[in-house]
Every structure is written in structure tokens, then in C-alpha cells.
Structure 1
Amino acid sequence: MIESRPTALRLLHIDSSARPGLSGRDPRGSHTRRLGARFVERWIARRPADAVIYRDVGQHPPAPVDADWVAAAFTRPEKRDAAQRARLAESDKLIDELLAADIVVVGAPMYNFGVPATLKAWLDNIVRVGVTFGFDRARGGDPYWPMLPAGKTLVTLSARGDYGYDPGGRQSDRNFVEAGLAAPLAYIGLQDHHAIAIEYDEFGDQRLADSIAAAEQAVDALVDRLLLDRRVAEPA
């Protein structure tokens, strides 16, 4: 009898914090980097054969979309010149990473109620007509459709200086982080979304410590649940 081996999965791990270190380990380290590292470490401990694609847009931001990018993206591939192909090369690479991933783990700290500009630049590079979403005027009232393969999962790991940004909270109407990621990614086909956040960073008291502990427990539980939900066999 031939034993079936578990299919290797790919994680795309994106950090976007301007802080380079991890909280709890490095001075002024990032909470989102801490949560992202914990997620990936726990996953790989359970499934060491899986691959991790790591991209740090906080330290190495993609070039923002400009007029040359737009002109190139809206030119048919066969009609693009060398300069246009070069302008889209980074976008091509970022999209390839997303297409290859089964789990997309994004560290997304709240900056002025939204995602960091570097993370928005990543989004703008991967939401691209004819590649990750389709458009056809002939479809009438529904001319757009997602083009990402089904089955991908998005995990958003955030951190906030204040508190009360979760649904029903005192500032939920000011939280544009999770929605700012979930909406454009669902638009291109990534609809399975899970979110965990640390709050009270600016207070620095026991509430922050409790929020960190709760978020770390939630990360551990989410890893376990995703592995179970996907019915992913673990190596013996």
C-alpha cells in the first residue's frame, strides 16, 4: 500500500510596519511583526515541508502606482514596449507571489486609521486589470470579475494605539485597516478572511499586556483551526 504524502502549501508572509524589530524582543519593536512571526513559526512547526515567501514592504516598499504604470497596465500585453514591461516587472513579481500562495498573512498596523502607505502600494500593484481581475463592458451591469484561483485564505494581523476598533466598538467606524485589505482582496477573489489585532499600544499598561496575550492566543488558535478546516494532513 502506497502512503499518500501531504501536499506542500505556500504561505505568503507580508510585513508592513515601519518598525524593524519585534515587540517583546527588540526595543520599540513591532506588534504586527511579532504576531506574524508567531503565526508562521507555529504553522511551520506543524508542517515543516511548507514553503514561506516573505516580503517586507515596510523596509522595502514597492514603487507606488504612477502614470507610467497605469499606461502600461492598460496596454495590451502584446503591444507593450520594453519600458512598459520593465515598469510592470515589480507588479508581475508581487502578483506571482500572491498567485503561488495558499495562505496570505499580512502584518498591517493601523496608521491614522488605515494601512501604511507601503502596504497600500503593494495592494495597488497586485489589483491589476486582466491579471487579477477581469473587465468587459459587454457584460452589462456586472463588467468586473475576480481572477485569483479559489481556495486562498487571508489573515490580517493588526495593532492599534487606541482601543475599541473591532465591530461594535467605540471607534469601529474609524477602522479602515481590515476593510481596506479585505475589500480589494475579495474583489480579486480572496474572500476567506480572518483578523486579529492588538490594542492599547499608546497606553502601555496592563491592558496592552492583556491584549498582546489575547492576540497571541488567538493566533495559535487560528493556525490550529485553519489546519483543521483545510483537513491538512501533517507529516508523520
Structure 2
Amino acid sequence: MLLHIDSSADPTADSVTRRLTAHFARAWQERHGVTDYRHRDLTTTPVPPLTGAYTTLGRRVEREGFVPPAKVPALVESPAEAREWELTLPLITELAAADTVVLGIPMYNFSVPAALKAWIDRVTFPGAFAHPDTGESLLADTRVVAVMARGGAYGPDTGRESLDFQTPYLKAWSGRLGIRPDHLHLVVAELTRVDVLPQLAGREAAAAASLAAARARLVALAAA
């Protein structure tokens, strides 16, 4: 299954990440079919931020060791905890069912959007993706295609690489879930605000090349 997640606050076609994730999804469906596909828009259907009841339930689950999601309700002790689990379980189930996940991630203030962070916080529930007997990750074979768009440039030759908090964060988070490093694909389109930021004038060709390279890589990844 392909799980397609958009997190851009811009719901229109002006969003570069939405255009790119849609490009990947179309290419994927051409190869794999249109039925085994799920789209989640974190802007039109936001994931609620965590509450104290979530963290309390999470700590209780951690003390029990590797508890599979099916056994979590037995550890729920209040209506507030039950509500948090009700909000969380569908997201965990959806991610567990996916063979490939494509994430649309615009850079907001050097990092990921709050809408995506809320989803990440919920699905990263203690033990949700750990095998109950071995503790090994159930997501070891899951592919994650992270599609990032940045208004400026943050590559190694820009002097701004240290301001890129998307890449290290996504690597750390996916690794924490047990997704293999070779299954995390970071696809970046840079200089996407070249049309509106005066300081980027003259870099139109570089922006177009970055976008074209991102599109081409997504087609290749969809076909893999």
C-alpha cells in the first residue's frame, strides 16, 4: 500500500510539495494500480496535538515492555486516555499497513511543519511498531520517500547547511522507528521561492534544475 501524506499549510497547487507528492503518487499508481492507496491531508484533517493523557498512557505501556496495539486498551485507565488512543490507533494501523510512505514536507522555519510533527508524535507511540516477542521493528521493510521543498538553498556548498533541521530530524526519527537507512529517500527541491524573493534573483535556472531533478528522482523511486 502507498500512504500519501501532505503537510503543507497551502492547500492549493502553489504548494511545491503537494505537486511533487502527487507526481510520485501518479507514477506509483501507473505501476502498482490505484486501489492500494491512501491519502491523508494533515491540513484539511489535522492530527490533534498530544495531551497529558497520551503521555501517561505511553509511560504505562513502556513499563509493560513491548505491548502490541491490540493489547493497549487493557492498560487504559480513564476516558481521556481512551480518547487519546482512539485518535492514535488509526494512524498507527495505517502506517503499519503501508509498504511505501510518501511525505510532503515544506521547510517552515528551518524544520518540518507543525501539522507533520503532530502526526509523527502520535504514530511514535511506545512499542507500536515493535515485534512483541523480539522487539524488532515491524517497519524494517517500509520505504519512506520524504519530499522536501525549501524556499532557499541549504546544500553543502551554500554556507547554510547547518540551518537544515529537516534532514537530521527525519533521519533520527525514521531510524528510531527502525526504518532502514537505505529505505529512507530524501528528495529535495530548493530555491522554490525564486519567483518572489528578490535576494534569489538570477537563480531561476538553478531552481528549475532542482525541481526537475526532484521530479525525475520521484519517478524513478515510484518505479522501483
TM over 0.5: yes
Runs of 5+ consecutive residues of structure 1 not aligned to the other structure: 1-9, 23-28, 136-144, 227-236
CA distance in structure 1 between the partners assigned to 2:139 and 2:191 by the alignment: 37
* Deviation (angstroms), 1:186: 1.6
Instruction: Map residues 105-120 of structure 1 onto 2, 5 A cutoff.
Output: 105-120=102-117
Matched, 1:215 2:205: no
Amino acid at match of 2:51: D
Q: CA deviation at 1:72?
A: 2.1
User: Is the contact made by 1:133 and 1:187 (CA closer than 8 Å) also made in structure 2?
Assistant: no
5+ unaligned residues in a row in structure 2: which ranges? 62-71, 196-203
| Distance (whole Å) between structure 2 residues aligned to residue 167 and residue 154 of structure 1 | 23
Partner AA of 1:75 in structure 2: R
Question: 1:58–1:119: 8 Å Cα contact kept in structure 2?
Answer: no
1:32 matches 2:17: yes
Q: Tell me what 1:81 maps to.
A: 77
Distance 1:50 1:75, change over 3 A: same
Amino acid aligned to 1:30: S
Partner residue, 2:144? 154
Q: Deviations over 1:82-118 (max 9, x none)?
A: 5112212121111101100000100011101100011
Name the CA distance, whole Å, in 2 between partners of 1:90 and 1:20: 23
Instruction: Return the TM-score normalized by structure 2.
Output: 0.81
Counterpart residue identity of residue 177, structure 2: I
1:140-219 superposed matches below 5 A? 147-163=137-153, 165-167=154-156, 169-191=158-180, 192-204=183-195, 205-219=204-218
Whole-Å separation in 1 of the counterparts to 2:156 and 2:88: 33
- Kept in 1, the 8 Å contact 2:129–2:139? The answer is no
- Aligned to 1:106, the other structure's residue is in SS state strand
Q: 1:132, 1:148 within 8 Å by CA — same for their partners in 2?
A: yes
**Separation in 2, partners of 1:180, 1:188:** 13
Pair 1:47 & 2:32 matched: yes
Aligned position for 1:15: 6
Provide the alpha-carbon RMSD of the alignment: 2.1
1:126 counterpart letter in structure 2: V
Q: State the one-letter code of the partner of 1:161.
A: G
CA displacement at 1:215 relative to structure 2: 1.5
After superposition, residues 94-105 of structure 1 pair within 5 angstroms as 94-105=91-102
**Is the CA contact 1:160–1:200 (under 8 Å) kept in the aligned structure 2?**
yes
Q: Is the 8 A contact 2:57 2:75 kept in 1?
A: no
Percent sequence identity over aligned pairs: 34
- Distance in 2, Cα, partners of 1:210 & 1:49: 30
1:118 alignment partner AA: A
CA 1:130–1:218: 2 relative to 1, 3 Å = closer
Residue 39 of structure 2 aligns to a residue whose secondary structure is: strand
Aligned to 1:126: 123
In the superposition, the TM-score normalised over structure 1's length comes to 0.78
Q: Structure 2 CA distance, aligned partners of 1:65 and 1:169?
A: 36
Equivalenced residue count is: 200
